[in-house]
């Protein structure tokens, strides 16, 4: 997602791994953008938001209603939290700019209040009301709940690289228990948190905000949400920026394998930098040798976890998560070097802290609902990557070819949607969005979570897309220090002129 520090990068909704998001197919009744709003939905489109101050200076908050089930809108409603910061001027107001940091499961309201409405370039904030809605099932919008804090602690510590049938059984049981917890606590909402549902919610919000077209910046999974909106409502799509793009044409297995390769690319970049430094804990050899050293350390932790100063020791699963967390932004590399050095010396506190940030675990042991919403959305959007452990074992060589460091773990965690209680409603498919206004797709060449090839693919699918490339490290590009990227996107948002296709920045 678009973030300003390593910590914010992790918390803004970063997950695809484990049950990657792909394409949800819109229902035929919703696929044409110019159809009149169905009679059953007109009350939602006609609602008036009651804005109030909400504790953060300069921001207003409101609650919007949407149908829980768009196929049966008369049945029941869902309440969605909305927040905005009005355009500051000078200059003519251009309407609302909806933002989403991705995940799925990242809080858009948390993002707009903590960063977008204060950190986006001033000319953009001057002309647009900065707006966010937490998607259904996320944060303030009737969040999906699954496990207690202690149960989630146990879940995150399960060995994700099983060595035998017994360990495989424990991993499968953990996925089943996670799914059962979600069904127990959130059964009513689980079938209704797909990306298509959230895109349809965004169209209601567009109307109640008084905007003829939707202007939008989405990062990571937020690109899939934005592309889905353009597919459903091409005629209502305004200026859409899709940064750190996903490829909706891929299966869950292919998405997970591609992301495995993406994290390997990011690790190679980190390792190439690390081995040149005196404080590198992975030696002074080649990046591949550094990778072997790290994998060897993970194997050591699998057999002998190290203490952390807490009741949770650092074993392989949490250590791997901590390293992954630091791959999202190169500003986190110094912290990773320090944390690895400490862990290899017998103190796992630093890597545990990185893993806790990734999982959005608070100091009191509670968790935000990021991981729960992430699974709930992803497991609806695509059929599961695998039907069971035997398929994982067959696919292991291809995952390990994608990454010697992360391949095995990524393959096994792709089982998490296999046991999900709500069946998938989406399928992989190309999104063309014919008739939409120009769309800007942004890709970063060494992006770990959304590999650059996905941006090229999505830009090739969308009928009106322009590809903007950032040659660099980290997840997403807008607002991360490239004047070239920021100028191109600002010009598009403010003037409607997209950059030339295939423009490259560094």
Q: For residue 169, what are its two tokens?
A: 């059984």
In sequence order, what E strands does 143-251 have?
Answer: 214-219, 237-243
Q: How many angstroms separate the Cα of 182 from the Cα of each of 76, 142, 190, 233?
A: 20, 13, 8, 31
Per-residue b/e over 40-71, b at no fewer than 16 CB within 10 Å?
A: ebeebeeeebeeeeeeeeebbbbebbbbbebe
**Separation CA 315–CA 204 (nearest Å):** 46
Structure tokens given for 421:
């209680």
Residue of 83, 87, 95 whose CA lies nearest to 132? 83
**38, 40, 44, 45: CA torsion to nearest 10:** 20
Sheet harboring 237-243: ordered strands across? 52-53, 60-67, 77-85, 128-133, 95-100, 214-219, 237-243, 439-446, 465-473, 503-505
How many Å apart are CA 217 and CA 5, to the nearest integer?
19
Q: What is the largest CA-CA distance in the chain?
A: 68
* 187 CB burial (10 A radius; 0-12, 13-18, 19+): exposed
Q: Got the DSSP string for 179-203?
A: HHHHHHHHTTTGGG--HHHHHHHHH
193 vs 417: CA distance, rounded Å: 15
What sign has the CA pseudo-torsion 264, 426, 443, 6? Answer: negative
Cα 417 from Cα 334, distance rounded (Å): 34
Q: Give the C-alpha separation, 476 to 480, whole Å.
A: 8
Annotated catalytic residues are: 220, 447, 475
Number of neighbouring beta carbons within 10 Å of residue 198? 26
Q: Cis before residue 441, ω within 30 degrees of 0?
A: no
Token pair of 371 as six digits: 């991981």
Total Cβ atoms within 10 A of residue 487: 13
What the block records as the tokens of 393 is 């074992």
The answer to whether 414 touches 441, Cβ cutoff 8 Å, is: no
């Amino acid at each position: 997602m678009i973030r300003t520090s390593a910590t914010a990068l992790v918390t803004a909704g970063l997950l695809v791994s484990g049950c990657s998001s792909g394409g949800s197919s819109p229902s035929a009744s919703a696929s044409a953008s110019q159809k009149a709003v169905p009679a059953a939905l007109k009350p939602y489109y006609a609602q008036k938001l009651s804005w109030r101050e909400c504790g953060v200076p300069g921001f207003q908050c409101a609650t919007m209603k949407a149908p829980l089930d768009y196929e049966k809108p008369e049945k029941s409603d869902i309440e969605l939290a909305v927040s905005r910061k009005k355009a500051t001027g000078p200059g003519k107001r251009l309407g609302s700019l909806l933002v989403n940091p991705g995940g799925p499961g990242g809080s858009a309201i948390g993002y707009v209040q903590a960063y977008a409405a204060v950190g986006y370039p001033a000319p953009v904030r001057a002309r647009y009301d900065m707006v966010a809605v937490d998607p259904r099932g996320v944060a303030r919008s009737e969040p999906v709940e699954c496990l207690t804090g202690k149960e989630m602690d146990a879940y995150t510590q399960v060995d994700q690289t099983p060595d035998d049938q017994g360990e495989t059984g424990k991993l499968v049981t953990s996925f089943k228990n996670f799914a059962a917890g979600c069904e127990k606590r959130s059964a009513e909402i689980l079938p209704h948190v797909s990306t298509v549902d959230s895109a349809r919610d965004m169209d209601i919000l567009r109307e109640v905000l008084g905007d003829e077209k939707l202007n939008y910046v989405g990062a990571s999974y937020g690109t899939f949400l934005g592309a889905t909106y353009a597919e459903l409502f091409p005629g209502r799509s305004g200026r859409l920026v899709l940064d750190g793009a996903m490829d909706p044409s891929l299966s869950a297995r292919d998405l997970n394998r591609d992301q495995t390769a993406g994290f390997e690319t990011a690790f190679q970049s980190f390792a190439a930098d690390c081995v040149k430094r005196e404080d590198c804990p992975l030696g002074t050899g080649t990046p591949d040798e550094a990778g072997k050293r790290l994998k060897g350390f993970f194997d050591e932790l699998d057999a002998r976890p190290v203490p952390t100063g807490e009741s949770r020791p650092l074993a392989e699963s949490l250590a791997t998560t901590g390293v992954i967390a630091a791959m999202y932004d190169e500003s986190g590399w110094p912290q990773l070097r320090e944390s690895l050095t400490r862990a290899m010396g017998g103190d796992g506190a630093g890597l545990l802290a990185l893993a806790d940030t990734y999982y959005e675990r608070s100091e009191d042991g509670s968790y935000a609902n990021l991981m729960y919403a992430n699974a709930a959305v992803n497991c609806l959007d695509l059929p599961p990557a695998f039907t069971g452990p035997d398929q994982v074992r067959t696919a292991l060589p291809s995952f390990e070819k994608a990454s010697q460091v992360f391949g095995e773990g990524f393959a096994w965690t792709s089982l998490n949607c296999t046991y999900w209680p709500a069946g998938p409603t989406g399928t992989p498919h190309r999104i063309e969005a014919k008739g939409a206004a120009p769309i800007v797709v942004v890709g970063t060449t060494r992006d770990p979570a959304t590999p650059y090839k996905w941006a090229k693919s999505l830009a090739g699918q969308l009928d009106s897309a322009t590809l903007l490339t950032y040659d660099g490290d980290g997840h997403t590009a807008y607002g991360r220090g490239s004047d070239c990227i920021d100028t191109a996107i600002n010009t598009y948002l403010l003037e409607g002129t997209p950059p030339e296709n295939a423009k490259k920045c560094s």
